[in-house]
Structure 1
Amino acid sequence: MPDYPIYGSKEMLDDAFPFKIEIRRPQTMNDVLHAHEHLQLCYMRSGSCLHWAGGQCHVLAKGDLFSIPPFQEHRLERREGMDFVMCQVDFMPHAIHESLRDLASIETFVDFAFIRPLIAEADLMPKMTLTLPAQAVVESLLDVISAEWEEKEEGYRLAIRAELLKLLVLTCRQYKRYSGAESSRERQQVAYHRKAFFETIAYMESHYDEDLHLEDMAARALMAPSYFSNLLKLVKGKSYIELLSALRIQAAMELLLGTDLSVTEIATRAGYNHISHFNRTFKKHTGLTPGDYRKHQA
């Protein structure tokens, strides 16, 4: 277990709408090493401070946009004699995940927000410095989000989702341009980690009938187990257990309709060792027992 606190998303965010936006200054910053289950996007509106993440210290200044992935230890530190204003956006994927999953540039966002900060290399900085025009757009978006969050008028959640989605799209575009100016070695590192992650998803989709374990799949993806499951939630809309169950039940449904195999044989082929577990899981997903599903769909 880590020797720093890990804040659960339900402790800090409303599960019905897991989002919040806050302004951090020297008087309100969190200078204690910690981590949390949700994703955090931060933008430096003015001034400068230090950010410790993954055991490394980075200088943040006006115009810097950076992410803090789930379960990454970090803290802020004031630079002597300097003030700062930082906008902090906290959210869980399901706050906007239906829209986020459909983004054509999802891999770009994953690179910036989840993968790049994960790579523990001394010369990789988990931030990007926005151009002046981009800074103006980001600050305008954050102003609208802040106002909606503070006033909470009818429809504020929809309004926040819309503006947050714009912010994420802008982040994708800016990172694509920003990364074009980075070293080829850094791009290769990010691509290598991304490739491992998506190849692990493909492996699960083709080996769902095997005795798969979260720890083994996370190792394939070059990630910690909890982090891997959280990233699956963002990209696939399901945690590790949810995704594996969905793959197995989908296979079972196809076998029930397309073959005359017994329910017990189908359960085994779908990756279940115990028929009772299969029956419970199948009914949870479909509302019917395997036998009833075959009968009603025939």
Structure 2
Amino acid sequence: MTYFVRKICNTSWKLEPHRISYYDLVFMLEGSADYRVDGVAYHVREGDLLLIKPGSERYATTTGMTCVAIDFKLREGEHIDLPVVSSRKDFDDFQWLFQELDFEWLQQKDGYQLKCQAIFALILHKLLFEGQHNSANVHVEAIKRYIVEHYDEKLSVAEVARAVKLNPVYCGALFKKSEGRSISEFINLVRVNQAASLLETGEYNVGEAAERTGFKDIYHFSNTFKRLMGMPPGTYRNKPAASRRLL
């Protein structure tokens, strides 16, 4: 992130035609603006997100707006695949991040750049990976959070469904459709990831790692671990740290 501003603009504001070498990210908080990006006109309204990519020519005017603008660059070979203009139903979820970013950017205390980059990373993560919030996503997130918080306990689809107040059949189908894997598969994934972390410390043997992550059968644990990690847990524990998670 190279630039941040939260600003109020009147009719005298405009962006002259200019080809940019960075990403220009604009969140329209109030009002509207008319942009022209590479010759294509876009009317950006309250609640809209505008993303102009490097190499694009931009021009803009407004009849009055309040917006957040962020300029940033990515490493060579990296890119962001978002439309030029999109409307976000979860727009309000970004507001506290804008406030934190504004607070840190304007103070510029020691370490502010690191903190601003961290806040911006959260913004990008929400844009790219969290998507638009809807009731299905809310339920799926609740399912995942419950599993992550209770992976070391006895878990079943029925238990998870009861915890999030959903019908078990609907709960399983909803999760499968959203995540591309079953609830049981996700439980195993979380457990194996945690078991791998325990084995990496060298403080736990295979049996202890299995027990601490909710596996009651060490043979089932070993088979599941090998399927997901590409090697048996004992081999993983004894392997050099640099080569463990490259599989």
- So what's the TM-score if we normalise by structure 2? 0.42
Bigger radius of gyration, 1 or 2? 2
Structure showing the higher helix proportion among its residues: 1
More strand per residue: 2
